[in-house]
Structure 1
Amino acid sequence: MKLRRLIAEVLCGAVAAMFCLTGCGADTGMMDAANANSVAGGDSSLPVITWKMGSTWGSGNIHYTCDERFTELVSQLTGGRFTITNYPEGSLCAANQLFDYVQNGTIQCGGDWGGYWSGKDTAFELLSTTMDNFSGLDYYTWINQGGGLECYQELYGQYNMTYFPIMINHAESGIRSTKPITSIADMQKMKIRLGGVLAGRVAQKLGINITTVAASELYESLQRGVIDGGEFSTPCSDDSLKLQEVAPYWCSPAWYQSAGVNGVMINKDAWDALPEEYQLAIQTAAETCAGEQLARYLWMDFEATEKMLKEDGCIVTEMNSEDWATIRKTCQEIYEAEAAANENFDMVYSSMKAYREKADTYRDMLKDYSWGFNYDDYDAKSQE
């Protein structure tokens, strides 16, 4: 198969060529025959295709680099015959317009975080994050082995799209705040920026005042006292915004987002028009990118955490155990209520619960060894 030969060449160190896309508005992405023959030298029956990929992330955002890595892999895997040009948030459309742009075929694809589309269907939130539930490794395993990918295809398919996860990260940092947080009562006295529709419902049920603030305005809002606390993403992502400079307190872990998934949504008509070889290239690039990012983000989080604690003077706080139990119970109640009200949410949530039923037996047997332990903690437990 031509693509498999190309993949082998890439893995042996073949250099990929990148081609620029010009023009705007809806397009097929297909180059004319003369240009295709010029670029490819006329030595392949596969067409030369260029696509546009918008993003919910701005240029320089750490998540945007993942979008760029995905398109780089697609080009490499097709010998440069299929290229996708990245456009940061705002250059083609606003972040909240990206879904419609891809659905309608104005552009062929877009890099997203599904939680942004929760207003269309709350099931999108489960495809992008969970409260007090999945870890990054759970998402990775569920997507690739537990039927998770089918849930993405089903939900996005209802909107004339196909979908592939390209980045999975572990739990978010937690809430960065200007005052310490050790209880629900502390949060009830604060204005907090918290992402996610369902997390907002949990917060409301707990009596916490949630305020909407764009990520680009988070630093200034904390600095000016518009909000008292907020979350963005994992430690390396938070560090890219320098949130620790204006919010030295760090309440961890992040019950509201125990893991996260970013992906690429692809217009279904554009997808169907691709040769099978290029469809395989996209799937392979997405799988490769997701595996790379799972390790890359965690390593960067290690480094960012060390920097924040040793150099930036962050002060870590924890919620008391009684309030943690209340939060966990409330999260489950909100999930169960939404599953009863939304068929799509129930589809995804049921698949996740089926995964947990299969995984948790062995996870429980492994105890500390299912994810790992710190030696100091292990020694302390053995002496209790």
Structure 2
Amino acid sequence: MERRSFVRGAGIAGVLAAGTAPAFVQAQANIRWRLASSFPKSLDTIYGAAEVFSKKVSDMSGGKFQISVHAGGELMPPFGVVDAVQNGTVDMCHTVPYYFFGKDPTFAIGAAIPFGMNSRQMTAWMLHGNGLKLMREFYAQYNMISFPGGNTGSQMGGWFRKEVKSLADIKGLKFRIGGFAGKIIERMGGVPQNIPGGEIYQSLEKGTIDAAEWVGPYDDQKLGFYKVAPFYAYPGWWEGGPEVDFFINTKAYEALTPEYKAIVEAASMTAHVDMQAKYDALNPTALKQLVAAKVKLMPFPKDVMDAAFKESMAVYADLSKTNPNWKKVYTDYAAFLKDQNLWFRFTEGQFDRYMQSAKL
């Protein structure tokens, strides 16, 4: 189940795509699984990755391995999917690990933590560092195995009813913010709210919350946040490159043949790459349309960014002293990130800064 397995799986995918399915696929038993998503069907990007995965599994198995995809709330609440996989109520789920930081903050490292890795760095750590190994060791405590299932890329900082001009404006702010980042907002004086994507608009419209973040322009436009909160902040410093995962019940996965396991791995990587490619393709047009609709883009003030960074580092240090799971994973994560940032500083960073100022 290391990166070599993903390569073998991709090879199988290519053979099957060419229409020359080997005999072992014909010999496999018919399997029917259920996948519970944490996302509504209306979000064709993040929810859609599970459908991409399901279709690839079916195509590569000649239709013998079928996985039905169920939207958040259809089988259980959106944040109930990990319990369902752990208990074997469903075979697998598609979700963002940091939703479950309340079980153990270490879940958040498997997705995104404030001022953490960007999407390329995260995939590098998972596939060619120790990320996949360490996170799977942790998830095994919950009777499940993980597979990369997408990445949104760096996110926006959310929608606000009022402009944030300084750190003082965070005080008392009721902010829908996903997962672990709520701990940082709380230390900054805000009031974090963990609300599923399908319920955010109503909460923002009714004034139950003052601000909300989701992903970026394409999804946010579909959800209509700009209609009730005109200020659109950036950057989403808590989500530089959040990974979305497939979690599979350990018993269900181990019951698969080696060939079906390879198909699952190959299909997960197809979905993983496809999600961010779709976001990157769709976000620019959506952002232009939002600006045309009088949305006010708002960079977070420097004192907000500085306070968030300071509090994040303090939380990580505290957790490293008190949580063995966190310390084991974060120590490796932080070392990998340090080297990645050194590399990106000289290449990606300089190139991107120049290109973003150039007039094409």
* TM-score where L is the length of structure 1: 0.84
State yes or no: 1:325 paired with 2:298: no
> 1:182, 1:318 within 8 Å by CA — same for their partners in 2?
no
Runs of 5+ unmatched residues, structure 1:
17-40, 380-384
Runs of 5+ unmatched residues, structure 2:
1-7
State yes or no: 1:74 paired with 2:74: no
- For residue 296 of structure 1, give the secondary structure of its aligned residue in structure 2: helix
Partner of 1:233: 215
Partner of 1:28: none
Percent identity (aligned)? 24
Q: 1:8 aligns with which of 14, 26, 33?
A: 14
1:251-308 CA-to-partner distances (Å, cap 9, x unmatched) read 1111222221111111111111100000000111111211222221122222221221
Would you identify which runs of 4 or more consecutive aligned residues in structure 1 move more than 6 Å? 2-5
Deviation of 1:368 after TM superposition, in Å, equals 3.0
Distance of aligned partners of 1:333 and 1:296 in 2 relative to their CA distance in 1, 3 Å threshold: same
1:127-186 CA-to-partner distances (Å, cap 9, x unmatched) read 111212211111111111112111221111111111101101212211201111132112
1:216-241 CA-to-partner distances (Å, cap 9, x unmatched) read 23212222222221111222221221
* TM-score where L is the length of structure 2: 0.89
Partner of 1:21: none
Deviation of 1:378 after TM superposition, in Å, equals 6.0
> 2:145, 2:248 within 8 Å by CA — same for their partners in 1?
yes
Deviation of 1:43 after TM superposition, in Å, equals 8.8
Q: Distance in 2 between matches of 1:367 and 1:214?
A: 34
Question: Alignment RMSD, CA only?
Answer: 2.5
Partner of 1:373: 353
Q: Distance in 2 between matches of 1:194 and 1:179?
A: 16
State yes or no: 1:117 paired with 2:120: no
Q: Distance in 2 between matches of 1:304 and 1:244?
A: 12
Distance of aligned partners of 1:82 and 1:212 in 2 relative to their CA distance in 1, 3 Å threshold: closer
Q: 2:285 aligns with which of 266, 288, 303?
A: 303
Summarize the alignment of residues 266-345 of structure 1 with structure 2, pairs less than 5 Å apart: 266-310=248-292, 312-345=293-326
Q: Whose Rg is larger? A: 1
Q: 1:249 aligns with which of 226, 231, 251?
A: 231
Distance of aligned partners of 1:46 and 1:376 in 2 relative to their CA distance in 1, 3 Å threshold: closer
Q: Distance in 1 between matches of 2:335 and 2:76?
A: 38
How many aligned residue pairs are there? 350
Deviation of 1:341 after TM superposition, in Å, equals 1.4
Distance of aligned partners of 1:51 and 1:323 in 2 relative to their CA distance in 1, 3 Å threshold: closer
1:319-357 CA-to-partner distances (Å, cap 9, x unmatched) read 222332222121111112112211111122112112123
Comparing 134-143 and 94-103, the one that deviates more: 94-103
Partner of 1:45: 27
Deviation of 1:49 after TM superposition, in Å, equals 1.3
Deviation of 1:80 after TM superposition, in Å, equals 1.5
> 1:134, 1:259 within 8 Å by CA — same for their partners in 2?
yes
